[in-house]
Amino acid sequence: MNIQQQRQQIRSQIRKTRANLTVFQQQLAEQSITQQALALIEQRQAQNIALYFSFDGEISTSSLINALWAQHKNLYLPVLHPFAKGHLLFLRYLPDTPMVKNQFGILEPKLNVQNVLSLNELDILFTPLVAFDKQGNRLGMGGGFYDRTLQNWQQKSFIPVGLAHQCQQLEQLPIEHWDVPLFDILVG
C-alpha cells in the first residue's frame, strides 16, 4: 500500500470513528476544547482569531465562537479563495454576517473584500483535522487548503492550533513533504 492509500485509509477509518461519537461525547469534547482554547487565547493575549465551522463530526466550535464574541474578540472564518484555487481567505465573522454554502457544503461568510484579514494580522489560527500524531502532524480532508495556508507559518505572526477528538490521535502519521506540523493540538 502506498502512502496516498495509507492516508486515504486513515481518513476513512477516523471519520467513521468520529461519526460514531455520541452526542454526549461531542458535547464533552466541545466543553473541553472551549476551555482549553480560551486559556490559550488569554495566555497569548490574542485578539484576532481564525476558527472554522464544524463539519463532518469535527468538534463543535459554536461555544467557543459565542464565548469569544462575549469577550469582544475579532473572529475570522475561512472562505475558499475565488481566484487562487486551493487557497483560503479569512473573513471577519459577526453574528449578523451573511453566510453561504461553499462547494463542499460548508457555511462560510459571503465574500466581501472589506472583511478580509491578512494572515499576518492573525494571532491564532484554529484548524480542523481528520487525524494527528504526537509530533504535531495533521492529516486533513485531502484538499491541501490548510497546508497551503500554513506554509512558512513560523515567519508569520500567528500560531496554528489543531482542534481534535482523542480518537483522532495516531502514534505516527504517514507524512508528505507538503505537510506542515502545527504549533499545538488541543484535544477534547
Strand order in the sheet with 159-164: 116-117, 88-92, 74-80, 48-50, 124-127, 159-164, 184-187
Q: Can you tell me whether residue 187 is helix, strand or coil?
A: strand
Q: Where are the domains of the chain?
A: 3-187
pTM above 0.85, yes or no: yes
> What is residue 32's predicted lDDT score, i.e. its pLDDT?
97
> What is residue 176's predicted lDDT score, i.e. its pLDDT?
86
What superfamily would CATH give domain 3-187? NagB/RpiA/CoA transferase-like (3.40.50.10420)
> What is residue 1's predicted lDDT score, i.e. its pLDDT?
78
Q: How far is CA 32 from the centre of its chain?
A: 16
> What is residue 88's predicted lDDT score, i.e. its pLDDT?
94
Each residue's pLDDT expressed in tens, for the chain with a length of 188 residues: 798 899 999 999 999 999 999 999 999 999 999 999 999 999 999 999 999 999 888 999 999 999 999 999 999 999 999 888 888 999 999 999 999 999 888 899 999 989 999 999 999 999 999 999 999 999 988 788 898 888 888 888 899 999 999 999 999 999 888 888 899 999 99
> What is residue 141's predicted lDDT score, i.e. its pLDDT?
84
Distance CA 181, CA 36 (A): 20
Alpha helix (H) ranges present in the chain?
3-19, 23-43, 62-70, 145-150
* Residue at 170: amino acid letter: L
